[in-house]
Structure 1
Amino acid sequence: MDGTGITQDKPRPDGGWSHEIEDVPGALVVPPTESAFRQAAGVLRADGSHCETGAFWRNHRPLTLTPDAPAGEVETLEGRWLWAGVLWVHFGHFLVESTGRLWGLDASQQEFDGILYIPKRPARGEEIAGWQRAFWGLAGIDLPVHVATAPTRVETLVVPGQGFGLGEIISGTPAFRSFMTRFAEDIAPDGPERLYISRSKLGLSKGGLIGEERLEHELAAQGYEIFHPQDHDLPTQIARYKAAKQILAAEGSALHLFGFVGRSDQKVAMVLRRQSGATDMIAEHLRSFCGIETVQIETLQRILKKKGGYKKRHDLGVIHMEQLRQALVANGFIEDTAPWKTLRWGDVRRVIGDKYEPRKR
Structure 2
Amino acid sequence: MDDAPGVWAGGDIPEAATWREGIRVTLPIAEPPEAEHRLSGKHLWGGIYFGHFGHFLVETVSRLWAAEQEGIDSVLFTPRHGKLKDFATYQADILDLFLPNSKVQILREPTEVEGLLVAGQGFGIGNISAGTPEFRAFVQRAMQDVEPRKVEKIYISRTRFNGKGGIIDEPLLEENLIAQGYTPIFPEKLPFREQLSLFKSAKKIIGLDSSAFHVLGYVATPEQDICIVTRRNHPAYEHIAAHLRAFTGRAPTVIEAVAADWMPERQKMPNHTSWGELDGDAVKKALVGTGFISDPARWIASSPARFSGALKWAEEKSKEPLVRRDAEETLARTRKKLAKQGA
What interval of TM-score do these two structures reach, taking the shorter chain for normalisation?
Answer: 0.7 to 0.9
1:143, distance to aligned residue in structure 2 (A): 1.7
2:222 is matched with which residue? 264
1:356 is matched with which residue? 322
1:99 aligns with 2:61: yes
1:66 aligns with 2:25: no
Q: Aligned partners of 2:107 and 2:24: how far apart in 1?
A: 20
Three-state SS of the structure 2 residue aligned to 1:65 is coil
After TM superposition, list the pairs within 5 Å mapping 1:214-253 onto structure 2. Answer: 214-253=172-211
**Which of 140, 143, 148 does residue 189 from structure 1 map onto?**
148
Distance 1:173 1:100, change over 3 A: same
1:123 aligns with 2:47: no
Q: Aligned partners of 1:287 and 1:244: how far apart in 2?
A: 17
Q: Aligned partners of 2:31 and 2:111: how far apart in 1?
A: 11
Q: Aligned partners of 1:196 and 1:177: how far apart in 2?
A: 25
2:280 is matched with which residue? 321
Q: Aligned partners of 1:83 and 1:151: how far apart in 2?
A: 14
2:97 is matched with which residue? 138
Partner amino acid, structure 2, of 1:175: E
1:307, distance to aligned residue in structure 2 (A): 2.5
- Measured against aligned partners, the alpha-carbon deviations of 1:311-330 in whole angstroms (never above 9, x if no partner) come to 62222111222221111111
Distance 1:307 1:104, change over 3 A: same
Q: Aligned partners of 1:103 and 1:320: how far apart in 2?
A: 42
**Cα RMSD (Å) of the superposition?**
1.8
How many pairs does the alignment contain? Answer: 319
1:32 is matched with which residue? 2
Instruction: Tell me which stretches of 4 or more aligned residues in structure 1 moved more than 6 Å.
Output: none
Of all paired residues, the percent bearing the same amino acid is 33
1:68, distance to aligned residue in structure 2 (A): 3.3
Q: Aligned partners of 1:138 and 1:71: how far apart in 2?
A: 33
After TM superposition, list the pairs within 5 Å mapping 1:232-311 onto structure 2. Answer: 232-309=190-267
Structure 2 unpaired stretches of 5+: 331-343
2:340 is matched with which residue? none
Distance 1:351 1:204, change over 3 A: farther
User: Larger deviation: 305-314 or 230-239?
Assistant: 305-314
1:148 aligns with 2:107: yes
Q: Aligned partners of 1:73 and 1:177: how far apart in 2?
A: 35
- Measured against aligned partners, the alpha-carbon deviations of 1:36-65 in whole angstroms (never above 9, x if no partner) come to xxxx231111xx311221111011210112
Q: Aligned partners of 1:212 and 1:346: how far apart in 2?
A: 13
Partner amino acid, structure 2, of 1:271: V
Q: Which has the higher helix share?
A: 2
Distance 1:249 1:76, change over 3 A: same
- Measured against aligned partners, the alpha-carbon deviations of 1:127-166 in whole angstroms (never above 9, x if no partner) come to 1112122112222432221111111111111000111100
Structure 1 length normalisation: TM-score?
Answer: 0.84
Distance 1:143 1:246, change over 3 A: same
- Measured against aligned partners, the alpha-carbon deviations of 1:175-213 in whole angstroms (never above 9, x if no partner) come to 1111111122112111311100011111452x2011210
Q: Aligned partners of 1:243 and 1:273: how far apart in 2?
A: 25
Q: Which has the higher strand share?
A: 1
1:42 is matched with which residue? 6
Structure 1 unpaired stretches of 5+: 1-30, 34-39
**Which of 176, 188, 192 does residue 135 from structure 2 map onto?**
176
Distance 1:198 1:313, change over 3 A: same
Q: Is the 8 A contact 2:63 2:122 kept in 1?
A: yes
